[in-house]
Amino acid sequence: MIESTAQPSLGPQPLPVARRLPLVGSLPEVLFGPADYLINARRVNGDIYLLNMGVEKLVVLNHPRHIEHVFVSNSSNYRKSGALWDAMRTLLGNGLAVSQGETWERQRGLVRPQFRRDRLIGVVPLMVEAVENELERWVSLSEAAESVDVLPLLGELTMKLLVKTVFGTSMSHESIERIRPEIMYAIKYLVPAMLTNSLPSWVPRPGARRYALALRRIDEILFEVIDQRRRDEDGGDDLLSMLLNAGHGESGDAMSPRQLRDETLTLFLAGYETTSVSLAWAAHYLSQDAAIQERLYGEVSSVLEGSAPNFSDLNNLTYARNVMMESLRICPPIWWNPREAIEEDVIDGFKIPKGSNVAPLTYVVHHHPDFWVEPERFDPDRFSESQSSGRHRYAWHPFGVGPRKCIGTAFALMESQIVLAMILQRFKLGLVPGRTATKAMLGTLRPKNGVHVELRPRSGSGTAAAGN
């Protein structure tokens, strides 16, 4: 193994080039089965190495101090650039996740305060209501089949929860049904858009016309909702109201309808896939370990005593939080977070040429044996206070770190605690033999072929809300 300790006295060293691995080590494995490949590659090549994939070279970074360097101490030297980000901009415009420079700074300043944990008290009842409605449907599904795939169910649940928390009651059921297929189409089209973006305008792009239509329809619905809300005096506690009011205070710099459209759509897309996938992984690991699941159920029963969760309960659902944090460690939905080096740099004593594509691998850092004992084991107690103390600050970073850290961190953790608690109040998640979820690393790290579990209703443990 090549040691990656800094050697400042010798000057920056050239990067070690990844060796071919005995079992894997070719482009198809990197692209289609990268989890084991990447873990092995770190073992063989060290914490930092150059991966030559023919078309593209990547500087692979696998250590928490690399995360600190790229996203915190030298973050101004690393930018989001490339075809994927360009394609995302056609959908999200100047939304927070894709904007840069002054626009990003201004927007981040306006949106961030709205996402502080204490500001989110008002969205908790909206979350609970959305989950309650959806779980009622799960009861009949559990009666109709031996096992169910909870991945699409959690996708639907998360989508409805986001609509409710972002738009409140302003988006009618009919508008939700109209906008949903358009958003789904737009998300699906992002990869082809990325591949065809640089072609001359006369080259036919399959699907481009349908994409343009999807964008027009999304705009139509969002502008309608935004317009109506701008006329309403009393908007409610949803995020759109918070965004409408943002900036009215100190700077008086309120957002334009176009910016509101970009930001609400961004929140929607940034929060949708990430939370639904991470909840699906949590359901998978809970179904695999009855002891962990029963301990969580014990906490939920004693804290909530059969009621729906409220904001202050969340502080007491500590094990639920640790289950979620462990899920996000073992399967971080955003498993890598690429950037481009604007100027030449030195990381860990190695030279990073200007223009390099660096690939910090959250997944590998989260499985690094120097920071995690038995990294493949699901163990929520890693996040207990006693076990967390002394761990490298960036050994766990599913929400990113530094100035561009996920704005929805508190929102996502609250949402996950609520969803897990409310599911466990109603169901026991049973293992389905032969249907263990496996990892697919595409845009996000999602369970290949879904998460199949037995949904066994908990006898006599109906919640106050569900039981009445």
Q: C-beta of 392: minimal distance to ligand HEM in Å?
A: 18
Nearer to ligand HEM (CB atom), residue 168 or residue 408: 408
Q: C-beta of 333: minimal distance to ligand HEM in Å?
A: 5
> Would you say 91 and 47 are in contact if contact means Cβ atoms under 8 Å apart?
no
And the tokens for 10? Answer: 């010798």
Binding residues for ligand HEM (CB under 6 A): 71, 96-97, 108, 266-267, 270-271, 274-275, 278, 333-334, 337, 398-400, 404-408, 411-412
Nearer to ligand HEM (CB atom), residue 168 or residue 271: 271
Q: C-beta of 72: minimal distance to ligand HEM in Å?
A: 10
Q: C-beta of 143: minimal distance to ligand HEM in Å?
A: 30
Q: C-beta of 56: minimal distance to ligand HEM in Å?
A: 20
Question: Which phi-psi region, left, alpha or beta, contains residue 273 (left: φ > 0; alpha: ψ -120 to 50)?
Answer: alpha
Mapping DSSP onto H, E and C, the string for 210-270 reads: HHHHHHHHHHHHHHHHHHHHHHCCCCCCCHHHHHHHCCCCCCCCCCCHHHHHHHHHHHHHH
Which of 264, 273, 271 is CA-nearest to residue 155?
273
Interstrand relation of 57-61 and 357-360 (parallel, antiparallel or unpaired): parallel
CA–CA dist 366, 376 (Å, integer): 10
The answer for residues whose C-beta is within 8 angstroms of residue 15's C-beta and 6 or more apart is 48, 49, 50, 59, 350, 351, 352
Nearer to ligand HEM (CB atom), residue 165 or residue 463: 165
Instruction: Give the three-class secondary structure for 420.
Output: helix
Nearer to ligand HEM (CB atom), residue 394 or residue 463: 394
Amino acid at 100: Q
Nearer to ligand HEM (CB atom), residue 18 or residue 218: 218
Q: Which residue of this chain has its Cβ atom nearest to ligand HEM in the complex?
A: 408
The answer for residues whose C-beta is within 8 angstroms of residue 66's C-beta and 6 or more apart is 47, 48, 347, 348, 360
Which of 233, 279, 323, 340 is CA-nearest to residue 131?
279
Q: C-beta of 270: minimal distance to ligand HEM in Å?
A: 3
Q: C-beta of 334: minimal distance to ligand HEM in Å?
A: 4
Nearer to ligand HEM (CB atom), residue 205 or residue 405: 405
Nearer to ligand HEM (CB atom), residue 167 or residue 411: 411
